[in-house]
Amino acid sequence: MDRYNTLTTFKKYFHPYALVGIVPAIFFLIFYFYPLSGIFIKSFLSEEFANNQHSNFGFLKQIFSSTRTLKIVWFTFWQAGVSTLLTLLCALPCAFVFSHYAFKGKKLIKTLSSIPFVLPAIVVATAFQACFGETDSPLILILLAHVFYNFSVMLRIITGFWSSLQGSIKEAAMALGANPLQVFLHVTLPLLKPAILAASTLVFIFCFSSFGIILILGGPYYSTIETEIYRQAAHIFNLPLASFLSLIQIVFTFFLMWIYTLFTKKAAKFVPDAEKANLKKPDRLLDKIVITATIIFIVSLCVLPLLALVVKSLTYNGEVSLIFYWALFENQTDSIFYIPPFHAIKFSLFFAGAALIIALVTGLCAALFIRFCDTNIDNKLTSFFDPIFMLPLSTSAVTLGFGIIITLDKPPLNLRTSIFLIPIAHALVGFPFVLRSILPALRSIPGNISDAASVLGASPWKIFKNIDFPLISKALVAGAIFAFTISLGEFGATIFTARPETPTIPIAIYRFLGQPGAINYGQAMAISTILMLVTAIGFVCIENFRPDNSEGF
Amino acid sequence: MEKELILENINKKYDDGSLILKNINLKLSGNIRLSILGPSGSGKTTLLRLIAGLESPDSGNIIFDDQLMNNYPAHKRNFGMMFQDFALFPHLNVFNNIAFGLKMKKMKKAQINSRVNEMLLMTDLDGFAHRSINELSGGEQQRVALARTLAPNPGLLMLDEPLSSLDKVLRKHLLLEITKIISKLNIITIFVTHDHEEAFAAGDIVIIMKNGSIEQQGTPEQLIQTPKNQWVKDFLGA
């Protein structure tokens, strides 16, 4: 009897689906936690720190007495706050229209509005430079670019909640004598508040850790913690200060992420599980004007900058020309450091392919493992591992890249010259998206299906091959496209990990923008246009590969 | 004076032009209890929503207490409506859910307190005032919904499948409770259901609806003893 029990326990915990959890665990330990611990160690145990005999906090004092660092921290919060507020102001009226009206082309407008969010920051920055050219007020460009970037996140989250409030709950308030204003103040607004706060926190996090946009549009005048980490590490080689800033970044993003989870939980509690909303048809003239205005607003916000990018990339000396595109394939300088841009495309594709494989394998293993914990062991285990696997999402790419280069450049693990350092970093950034694509599909498979199969004599491997795999194949494709397009556009971690001789597309764009001359500028536009198209196509494919009812990202 | 609800030639179309309600005529008065019975899609909920003012008819008149109600918005009718999914406000506790309609009437705090407590007692919910809605069972939620609907002293009460989201055992028990409470009210009550046992228990008069029109109208006994046609007979027999 005892032996039997031990055997079943053994079989339970050493089920193949439990064992695959080791793959993402090792991946995270080596490529996420180890680099992050490197940042902690560099911040507190560095020589500079130790040399400060008087007190361990002398170094901190030095940092906080520097007005430059303080200014940077202040500006980081300020720009994130203002960007979030502006995004909210733009998204709230549009969310009202989207959650109340049914109109032709709604789905198209919604997809269109989501494209900016999936574009690489470097493309967005280039597009805004194309749209507004050299300007005296880069600050306005930064804020506008953030609104452009995050508008759809805000719109999607708030619209999702607002539509769910359209059903009987609003009617119950009306039947109880509440006029439209009272319904809004006493029912809609309190129920919508957690969703608005959650969306705002998320956008704040994105703006707080925005890198490419600030680096390119802000130029030398505006720095945030993110860009300062890069500057301190890559230009001034002040690694302790860079580490310390990374630490601030980590602490704040984790704190904000925690607040975001609280708001999301509260918001979820408020979603009535009632039937779907009955949307209004725009019958009255006023309805039609409101909807037309919304469409014009969204199209001009989300499409004009991208259109400007395409137009600039096709215009040379005032005429339509493909010269910038042809130039991508020529080696114009004889400098040995010059890498022709089409090589960057080649490297990018290789890295993206490798990142796709790494992220998909680790992501699938993690999803299988979490589903196994859900059903066979304990939900507590799921609520422990699930947030851990989402951590890369709340760690800025710059911090990640920085952590990787300061830890993986020496024994026990020296990958400094390895061609796989970039795909590993990219896979880490893409991992949460892959997991979030696969896990819902896996969870939607009823448990009794695999029970039925195993009673019919299928081994765990056969169950995976013949049941789970075919049922999640669409989600796997969506996850793969996520991993691939994220890798193609990744900038923050790549700028640390890329070797000079193997640049990626975003690095090539950054280099072009930094060099004078119309041809360089035009090439940046051309290659950005290509990257934009590839990412947009990838996004449209993902949208088609996932269930219709999924809101958020 | 007795209040009267009169529906005259009510018609209502779907967006695609097909009729949901065809030429509905109805006259109710006093404290009569009406049950509207019919299969899903027969238009019974739509009829209720027209009376409540949540939708408006394409043609015909809704008259209550000698006043034409057609252009009165829902919040000015002072009708009570209990929803199928209860539609309780998840951000408010039991007390504030029940007090909602009273607050909309700008009642004084002391008055609100005493009225809510009265409702809590009536629905056997004393001690639940500060509970969160999410902590309640289905039966408790149903009672909160009823208390909330009755608190503002509605001139007319509508119940839209109030038992359909509960399980079978609970349903029987709560049907008794609900009918006991609404029998004591001195207003017109309209009870919508697809279950003939519920309809007969909750209504002095029952109308049977089919494809948007009234198929037969009468007391429960009349309907059982002299069904108008085979369809009614089958429907009641089911």
Name the band, by pLDDT with cuts 50, 70 and 90, for residue A382.
confident
Confidence (pTM): 0.83
Domain extent, residue B106, equals 85-153
**Same domain assignment for residues B13 and B67:** yes
**Would you identify the CATH topology of the domain A325-330+338-553?**
MetI-like fold (1.10.3720)
**Same domain assignment for residues B175 and B64:** yes
Q: Choose among A511, A504, A553: nearest CA to A530.
A: A504
- Strands B67-68 and B59-64, by their bridges, are antiparallel
Name the band, by pLDDT with cuts 50, 70 and 90, for residue A484.
very high
In this complex, do A176 and B101 lie within 8 Å of one another by their Cβ atoms? yes
Q: Which of A171, A187, A281 sits opposite B15 (nearest CB)?
A: A281
For residue B164, give Cα distances in angstroms to A374, B94, B191.
32, 21, 12
Q: Hey, what amino acid is at B237?
A: G
Contact predicate B182/B34, CB 8 Å: no
CA–CA gap between residue A350 and residue A419 (Å, rounded): 10
Instruction: Inform me whether the pLDDT recorded for A223 exceeds 70.
Output: yes
- CB burial of A292-317 (b: ≥16 within 10 Å; e: otherwise) equals eebbebbeebbeebbebbbebbbbbe
Contact predicate B106/B75, CB 8 Å: no
Which of B113, B136, B153 finishes a domain?
Answer: B153
Which of B127, B153, B179 finishes a domain?
Answer: B153
Interface residue B212 vs chain A (CB under 8 A): no
* pLDDT given at position B205: 94
**Same domain assignment for residues B41 and B16:** yes
**Same domain assignment for residues B45 and B97:** no
CA–CA gap between residue A146 and residue A160 (Å, rounded): 22
Residue partners of A27: CB distance under 8 A and separation at least 6:
A358, A362, A428
What does the CA dihedral A53, A56, A60, A65 come to, rounded to 10 degrees? -40
Name the band, by pLDDT with cuts 50, 70 and 90, for residue B188.
very high
Instruction: Inform me whether the pLDDT recorded for B172 exceeds 60.
Output: yes
Q: Choose among A182, A180, A168: nearest CA to B48.
A: A168
Condensed to tens digits (0 to 9), the pLDDT of residues A336-364 reads 556 677 888 889 999 999 999 999 999 99
Q: Which two tokens stand for residue B16?
A: 């695609």
User: Rounded to the nearest 5°, which phi and psi values hold at B206?
Assistant: -125, 135
Pick the residue from chain A with its C-alpha nearest to B132: A269
**Same domain assignment for residues B160 and B186:** yes
**Same domain assignment for residues B216 and B127:** no
For residue B226, count CB atoms less than 10 angstroms from its CB and return exposed for 0-12, middle for 13-18, buried for 19 or more: exposed
Identify all chain B residues contacting A192, using CB atoms and an 8 Å cutoff.
none
Q: Which two tokens stand for residue A138?
A: 């880069």
**Same domain assignment for residues B10 and B39:** yes
Pick the residue from chain B with its C-alpha nearest to A281: B15
Report ipTM for this prediction: 0.84
**Same domain assignment for residues B166 and B228:** yes
Condensed to tens digits (0 to 9), the pLDDT of residues A108-159 reads 898 888 888 888 999 999 898 888 877 778 899 999 999 999 999 999 999 9
**Same domain assignment for residues B62 and B163:** yes
The domains of chain A are located at: 69-310, 325-330+338-553
Condensed to tens digits (0 to 9), the pLDDT of residues A26-63 reads 999 999 999 999 888 887 766 655 555 444 555 666 66
* pLDDT given at position A550: 44
Q: How many Å lie between the alpha carbon of A178 and the closest alpha carbon of chain B?
A: 5
CA–CA gap between residue A118 and residue A418 (Å, rounded): 28
Bridge partners of residue B29, in order along the sequence? B4
Which of B112, B133, B153 finishes a domain?
Answer: B153
Task: Give me the CATH number covering residue B227.
Answer: 3.40.50.300
Residues of chain A in Cβ contact (below 8 Å) with chain B = 167-169, 171-180, 182-183, 186-187, 190-191, 269-270, 272-275, 281
CA–CA gap between residue A168 and residue B88 (Å, rounded): 9
* pLDDT given at position A207: 94
Interface residue B73 vs chain A (CB under 8 A): yes
Contact predicate B12/B213, CB 8 Å: no
Pick the residue from chain A with its C-alpha nearest to B156: A175
* DSSP letter string, B1-52: ---EEEEEEEEEE-TTS-EEEEEEEEEEETT-EEEEE--TTSSHHHHHHHHH
**Same domain assignment for residues B103 and B129:** yes
Class of the CATH-defined domain A69-310: mainly alpha
**Same domain assignment for residues B128 and B74:** no
CB atoms within 10 A of CB A44: 16
CA–CA gap between residue A534 and residue A134 (Å, rounded): 27
Interface residue B44 vs chain A (CB under 8 A): no
Condensed to tens digits (0 to 9), the pLDDT of residues B37-76 reads 999 889 998 999 999 998 889 999 999 999 999 888 888 8
Q: In the 3-class helix/strand/coil scheme, how is A483-520 assigned residue by residue? A: HHHHHHHCCCCHHHHCCCCCCCHHHHHHHHHHCCCHHH
Q: Which of A176, A185, A263 to mutate to test the interface with B (most CBs of B within 10 A)?
A: A176
**Same domain assignment for residues B65 and B158:** yes
CA–CA gap between residue B51 and residue B71 (Å, rounded): 11
| Alpha helix ranges (H) inside B105-226 | 109-122, 138-150, 168-183, 196-202, 220-225
In this complex, do B54 and A172 lie within 8 Å of one another by their Cβ atoms? no
A189-208 vs A239-269: helix crossing angle, rounded to 10? 160
For residue A177, the SS3 value is: coil
Q: What's the whole-number mean pLDDT along residues A424-444?
A: 91
* pLDDT given at position A542: 81
For residue A277, count CB atoms less than 10 angstroms from its CB and return exposed for 0-12, middle for 13-18, buried for 19 or more: middle
CA–CA gap between residue A161 and residue A165 (Å, rounded): 7
Query: Would you say the CATH fold of A325-330+338-553 matches that of A69-310?
Result: yes
Number of domains in chain B: 2
Pick the residue from chain A with its C-alpha nearest to B148: A176
